[in-house]
Amino acid sequence: MKKQLALTLAMIIALNTQVLAAERNIIGGYGLYNHLGERIGEVLLINENGTIIHEQKLEEVETMQIETQKVELLTEPPEVGIVLGNIMKEGENLPLDYASSYTEPYATYSLGQCAWYANGRLREVTNKQVHISGAAKGWIAKAEEMDEFLMEYDINQPQEHSVAVYIPIDANDTHPGHVVFIEYIERDAAGNPTYIYYTDANGKYDTELDVFTPNVDGVVRKESFEEFSKDTNLRLSGYVSVNLNE
Closest CA to 185 of 74, 66, 81: 74
At residue 37, the pLDDT reads 46
Same domain, 233 and 113: yes
Contact yes or no for 93/86 (Cβ under 8 A): no
Distance CA(28)–CA(116), nearest Å, equals: 11
List, for residues 149-186, the tens digit of each pLDDT value: 999 999 999 999 999 999 999 988 999 999 999 999 99
Contact yes or no for 33/24 (Cβ under 8 A): yes
Q: Is 186 exposed, middle or buried (0-12, 13-18, 19+ CB in 10 A)?
A: middle
Same domain, 169 and 121: yes
List, for residues 30-78, the tens digit of each pLDDT value: 455 444 444 555 555 555 455 555 555 554 434 333 344 457 889 999 9
Structure-derived torsion over alpha carbons of residues 125, 237, 232, 215, reported in degrees to the nearest 10: 10
Residue 108 located in a structural domain: yes
Residue 86 located in a structural domain: no
Residue 28 located in a structural domain: yes
Residue 156 located in a structural domain: yes
DSSP 186-225: EE-TTS-EEEEEEE-SSSTT-SSTTS--TTTTTB-EEEEH
At residue 35, the pLDDT reads 43
Same domain, 127 and 211: yes
- What's 222's domain CATH number? 3.90.1720.10
At residue 72, the pLDDT reads 84
Same domain, 55 and 144: no
Residue 81 located in a structural domain: no
Tally of domains in the chain: 2
| Domain limits for position 194 | 99-242
pTM of the complete model: 0.73
Give the domain-ending residue among 63, 89, 114.
63
Same domain, 35 and 151: no
DSSP-derived secondary structure letter, 147 = T
List, for residues 80-127, the tens digit of each pLDDT value: 999 999 999 999 899 999 999 999 999 998 999 999 999 999 999 999
Residue 87 located in a structural domain: no
